[in-house]
Amino acid sequence: MKIVIGTSPGEVTLARWRAEFPQVEFAVPMGPAEGVAAARDADAWIGRIPREAFLAAGPGLRWVHSTGAGIETLAAIPELVESDVTVTNTRGGHAPTIADHTFALLLSLARKLPALQADQREHVWAGAGSRVGMRQLGGMTMTIVGFGNIGRAIGKRAVAFDMRVRGVDPFPGETPPGVEAVWPLDRLDEALAETAALVVAAPLTPQTRGLIDARRIGLLPPGAYLIAISRGGIVEEAPLIDALAAGRLAGAGLDVTATEPLPPDDPLWDAPNLILTPHCSGASRQTTERVWELTTENVRHFVAGRPLTNICDKRAGF
pLDDT at 277: 98
Please state the domain extents for the chain: 2-92+285-304, 95-276
pLDDT at 190: 98
Residue 95: CB partners within 8 Å, gap ≥ 6? 149, 150, 152, 153
Catalytic residues: 231, 260, 279
Say if CB 174 and CB 199 are below 8 A apart: no
pLDDT at 246: 98
Decide if pLDDT at 131 tops 90.
Answer: no
Nearest-angstrom CA–CA distance, 153 and 286: 15
Nearest-angstrom CA–CA distance, 207 and 219: 19
Nearest-angstrom CA–CA distance, 205 and 190: 22
pLDDT class of 126 with cuts at 50, 70, 90: confident
Nearest-angstrom CA–CA distance, 126 and 52: 57
Pairing of strands 164-168, 181-183: parallel
Q: Which tens digits make up the pLDDT trace of 89-125?
A: 999 999 999 999 999 999 999 999 999 999 999 999 9
Establish whether domains 2-92+285-304 and 95-276 are of one fold.
Answer: yes
pLDDT (average), residues 200-204: 97
Instruction: Give me the chain's average pLDDT, please.
Output: 97
Nearest-angstrom CA–CA distance, 181 and 171: 13
- Mapped onto helix, strand or coil, the DSSP state of residue 155 is helix
Q: Which tens digits make up the pLDDT trace of 257-267?
A: 999 999 999 99
Nearest-angstrom CA–CA distance, 163 and 158: 5
Say if CB 62 and CB 39 are below 8 A apart: no
Decide if pLDDT at 196 tops 80.
Answer: yes
pLDDT class of 226 with cuts at 50, 70, 90: very high
Q: Which tens digits make up the pLDDT trace of 34-72?
A: 999 999 999 999 999 999 999 999 999 999 999 999 999
Domain 95-276 has CATH 3.40.50.720: yes
CATH superfamily, region 2-92+285-304: NAD(P)-binding Rossmann-like Domain (3.40.50.720)
pTM of the model: 0.94
Q: Which tens digits make up the pLDDT trace of 16-44?
A: 999 999 999 999 999 999 999 999 999 99
Q: Which tens digits make up the pLDDT trace of 264-301?
A: 999 999 999 999 999 999 999 999 999 999 999 999 99
Say if CB 229 and CB 281 are below 8 A apart: yes
Say if CB 134 and CB 111 are below 8 A apart: yes
Residue 210: CB partners within 8 Å, gap ≥ 6? 233, 234, 236
